[in-house]
Each structure stands twice: as C-alpha cells, then as structure tokens.
C-alpha cells in the first residue's frame, strides 16, 4: 500500500519544471477534465494536486499543508516545510520526538522526492494493528536549509479507501519540482574511488556508483550503506580520512582512496583489515565500549551562541568514543579518548592543513583551535587528565571549508563535554 519508500529509492523522478516562482496557486484544467492545481512556493518548489480530493492550506510563508477531502476514516495530510538554521537530522528530531511509540520508529534513507541526485533521511511509524495512524517524515538539505515532508495517513483497514488516500497524497509528493536545487554539502567528502582486497568501490556525486568485485554492480549509496540498484544486497560502510571501511559478506575490509579514478583503482591491491568502529545506541554505551569512563555531552536542544545542539549517532573503538550531530546548521563530531593511546593527544583523525592555529581557554582548560579563517574554529582539541578530546565542525555549502566557532562557543562546548 505504501509507495513512499519505494519512490524515494527509485532513480529518474525529476519532472518537467513549472514556470514561475511566486507564492501563488495557478489553476489549470487537466486533459481528463479534472481540476488540477499547482502550488508554487516562495522557496523555489512546486507541487501539483487535484482539487477534486485535495485542498491546500498555506500555514505560513514556509509551510503548506495538503489535506485529503475524499472518503476516509480520519484526517490525512501532507505537510511541506522549509526550515533555515538547522540540519535534516535535527529537523526530523524536532518532529518525530512528538510521535508515540518512539521505539517503533524506523529509519531509512533514499533519493529525495523530485530528484535523481539528491538524498533524504526518512523516518516512518506504522500503526500497531490493522487500523491507526501511519506517519512518514522525510528531510533533506535544500538550498542552505532543510525541506521537510510530513505524511500522516489514517489506515482504516478498508483497502479501497486506504489506497485512494495513499495514491492521492503520494501523487502530490511525487509531483514536486524545483526552480534550482543547489548541491548538497553534507555528503561532499564521500564521492571518489576506493580500492582494497580485490574490491573497488566508486561513489559518484549523484549517489550512484559501482562496486567491482567478481563483477561490476551498479549501486546507490547513503550516509552509511551501499545498496545494489536491483536491491539484491546492502553493505554498511564508514569513511575515516582517506580510508573507507566496507562490511562485505560479514567481514570488514579497508579500502583506500585512489587518486586518478577507476583505471588506477584496478591496479591497486591493498590488504583488507577489520574496521575498528562499532555502533552504539547512546553516549554512555559508546563510553563503555571504548573504556573511557563516562562520555558526557550537552543535552539535545541545548542552545548555544552558535545555535542549538543535536546528537543522533554514537560509535566506539578501543580507547575512543564518538558522537555525531550538529550545532546550528553545521555538522559536529565529538570524540573522547585515552591520552596514552594517541601521540600529542590528537584523536580527531583530521589531518587537514588549516591556515590558522591559536589557543584559548575554557575555564581552567587550555584549548587548541584550528581553522581556515582567523577566529573560526573548525577543529578543537584539548586534554584533561587521562583523556583527550576533539570537536570537528563543518558548515554547509560554500562555507564547508571555512565555517567555524568563535571562542565563546568553543568555551561553551568544551565546558559541557567530559
């Protein structure tokens, strides 16, 4: 019944662009005589819908809601919101934290609606039983902000009614087109060719790619997995510096970045090794797995001078715990490790040659800051007793290589991490 996830994972969804970009509704008759409408957002996207069973309501300049008016057993809506100043994960957290049955929420990823080369994060919550509310939220980086879709459908148990509701709202979602969808920056360091242990993996900018093992197989890739285009397999991966670690047939292989593309990659043979990182559900679980005592972080939604904080992913290896998230609209990675395992206490794994290095303090703690603009810290590191820490910050879009935190924000973060 639900087509949303399969739609997102398909390629080639880009539709013909509609002219104009003003916030207006243009009424045009369809060839079958139905009254077709076009909603044109001030934020540069357009959606089409049938006035026979859908009505639109502009809640504010950044939010529009489409309401199903046909026969149903409950309220069925598609809400589209443009949000500035945060990332997709935080936008989803703000929305889905209000959903019931948090442990039943499923997370996935896929091609963003109306595109063939952009990526979105998806969360769904299905009803517990044959009837109830089905919820789906999709968020993706969009032109310096986030575009968020919220689909709410009431499942009645009557397939005829439920299919009509699903088709009507899914058709609105799939009709979306854009005036100009700028390149997403959150995955900008992924694309490239990686080779090792007889395997070559190529990740393209448009989230397509190729895995070359015994044969060449076309793939799609997301934040932490690759999937065969025909759905025949899914493998997890993670990137650390110039290395990509691929979980292939139950074994973790190390593939190294190859300059010069696939021809060079075919001649490179690099011995595979086990990826030392493991997933954790919480910061405490990551600290326990790493053996670093406690891993204290600011609470989600904590406000700072650089924006609100949000963490959503945790990892660990022997001697290091890691949390990934965001601060404002920038991505953030925080690590805590054992000083005894790392030369000069550097656990960041970031070997960027920054233009500026300076020193500041957070209370009694001496902190080293690095960045490509003076006073904008992109890499922050310090030690405290037996432990060393790092924070890596990356902005979005054109400021990916320059955005950083001022000393005040650095002090706030360092003082809240232990």
Place of tokens 């065969």: 228
Identify the CA nearest to 184 among candidates 236, 238, 239, 117.
Answer: 117
Instruction: Identify the segments of the chain with pLDDT beneath 70.
Output: 1-34, 259-276, 343-345, 397
pLDDT in tens, 53-85: 999 999 999 999 999 999 988 899 999 999 998
Question: In this predicted structure, what is the pLDDT of residue 381?
Answer: 92
Q: Give the dihedral of Cα atoms 405, 407, 413, 417; nearest 10 deg.
A: 130
Those residues with Cβ within 8 angstroms of residue 200's Cβ, 6 or more apart along the chain or in another chain: 193, 194, 210, 211, 212, 255, 258, 262, 265, 266
Distance (Å, whole) CA 162 – CA 64: 23
Domain ranges for the chain, please list them. 4-178, 192-267, 278-416
Q: Supply 405's token pair.
A: 């935190």
Integer angstrom CA distances of residue 71 from 68, 74, 75, 160, 212: 8, 9, 10, 10, 50
* Per-residue pLDDT reduced to its tens digit, 365-384: 999 999 999 999 999 999 99
Question: Tell me, what's the pLDDT at 28?
Answer: 43
pLDDT, residue 400, reads: 78
331 burial class (0-12, 13-18, 19+ CB within 10 angstroms)? buried
Per this entry, what is the length of the chain?
418
**Half-sphere exposure in the Cβ direction for 212 (13 Å, CA):** 17
In this prediction, residue 13 carries a pLDDT of 27
* Cα 343 from chain centre: 32
pTM, 2 dp: 0.60
Structurally, at CATH architecture level, domain 4-178 sits in Sandwich (2.60)
């Amino acid at each position: 019944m639900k087509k949303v996830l399969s739609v997102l994972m398909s390629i080639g969804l880009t539709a013909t662009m509609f002219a104009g970009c003003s916030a207006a509704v243009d009424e045009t008759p369809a060839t079958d005589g139905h009254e077709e409408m076009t909603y044109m957002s001030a934020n540069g996207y357009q959606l089409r819908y049938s006035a026979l069973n859908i009505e639109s309501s502009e809640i504010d300049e950044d939010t529009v809601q489409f309401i199903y008016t046909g026969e149903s057993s409950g309220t069925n809506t598609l809400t589209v919101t443009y949000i500035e100043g945060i990332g997709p994960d935080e936008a989803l957290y703000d929305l889905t934290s209000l959903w019931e049955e948090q442990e039943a929420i499923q997370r996935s990823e896929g091609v963003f609606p109306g595109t063939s080369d952009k990526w979105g994060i998806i969360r769904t919550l299905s009803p517990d039983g044959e009837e109830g509310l089905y919820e789906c939220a999709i968020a993706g980086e969009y032109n310096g902000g986030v575009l968020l879709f919220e689909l709410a459908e009431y499942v009645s148990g009557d397939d005829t009614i439920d299919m009509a509701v699903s088709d009507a709202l899914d058709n609105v979602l799939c009709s979306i087109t854009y005036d100009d969808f700028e390149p997403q920056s959150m995955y900008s360091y992924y694309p490239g060719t990686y080779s090792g242990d007889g395997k070559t993996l190529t990740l393209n900018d448009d989230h397509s790619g190729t895995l070359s093992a015994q044969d060449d197989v076309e793939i799609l890739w997301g934040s932490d997995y690759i999937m065969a285009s025909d759905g025949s397999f899914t493998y997890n991966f993670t990137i650390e510096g110039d290395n990509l670690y691929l979980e292939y047939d139950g074994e973790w292989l190390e593939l190294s970045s190859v300059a010069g593309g696939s021809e060079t990659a075919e001649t490179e043979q690099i011995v595979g090794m086990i990826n030392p990182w493991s997933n954790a559900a919480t910061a405490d679980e990551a600290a326990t797995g790493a053996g670093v005592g406690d891993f204290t972080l600011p609470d989600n939604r904590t406000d700072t001078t650089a924006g609100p904080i949000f963490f959503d992913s945790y990892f660990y290896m022997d001697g290091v715990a890691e949390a990934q998230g965001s601060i404002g609209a920038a991505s953030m990675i925080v690590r805590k490790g054992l000083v005894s395992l790392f030369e000069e206490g550097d656990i960041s794994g970031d070997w960027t040659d920054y233009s500026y290095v300076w020193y500041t303090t957070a209370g009694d703690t001496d902190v080293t800051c690095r960045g490509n603009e003076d006073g904008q810290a992109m890499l922050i590191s310090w030690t405290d007793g037996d432990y060393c820490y790092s924070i890596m910050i990356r902005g979005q879009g054109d400021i990916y290589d320059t955005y950083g935190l001022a000393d005040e924000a650095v002090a706030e973060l360092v003082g809240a991490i232990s």
